A and B are shown apart, each in its own frame.
Chain A
């Protein structure tokens, strides 16, 4: 099946810093989503981005499908950005199975 790798596994920032999270995937995809998992376990949708670039406030994402990677940018980080960020893809042969990466644990200190 499709493989998803996220980097870095852990990231520690001071409030106000910028960061880039990376997601590599091993095959063509029909869908790519970025999620933020809060301390209670809820997965919050950040971006639905199988290709191209999107922005939402301080967050933006870019997926280059032909090169099989996606980037999530966080600018001017805040303590509330802390948590786990997951990339998940829907492989070309599946209709429903999202395959998740291992996540990036982000800690933002005041």
Chain B
């Protein structure tokens, strides 16, 4: 049973650059979620897809953030014009019921 996978695992970028992360959910999981976790805090919800439809978005997801799940399988999260405050662990989760399973995360460092 393959778990949720995320790529890349680490990303270092300069302020102002755009970055894109990918998440592959567990096979046949139709629900996919993105969270962000900063040091010393619990993860915070960003957005949620059911199949290809984006059903819920947090106010944390500013205009510089966009998430897609074009074919209802993998998802991408893009951050435009990165800022130092975007440095965090970006976690993806998937589910078929309400029990969510998390991937290993992408750690973003903005210099």
Q: Which residues of A contact B (CB under 8 A)?
A: 4, 30-31, 33, 35, 40-43, 45, 48, 86, 88, 90, 94-103
Contact = CB atoms under 8 A, between A and B. Distances in A.
Given A43-B91, A95-B48, A100 B42 contact: yes
B44 A100 contact: yes
A94 B99 contact: no
Q: DSSP class of B's interface residues: helix, strand, loop or mixed?
A: strand
Interface string B68-108: 00000000000000000000010101000011111011010
Contacts of A98: 33, 35, 43, 45, 93, 100
B42 A88 contact: yes
Given A35-B102, A97-B45, A100-B43, 4 more contacts: A43-B102, A95-B48, A97-B58, A102-B42
B28 interface: no
B41 interface: yes
Nearest to B98: A31
Contact of A33 (B35, B50, B100, B107): B100
A94 B56 contact: yes
B99 A48 contact: yes
Contact of B55 (A4, A31, A96, A101): A96
A97 B37 CA distance: 14
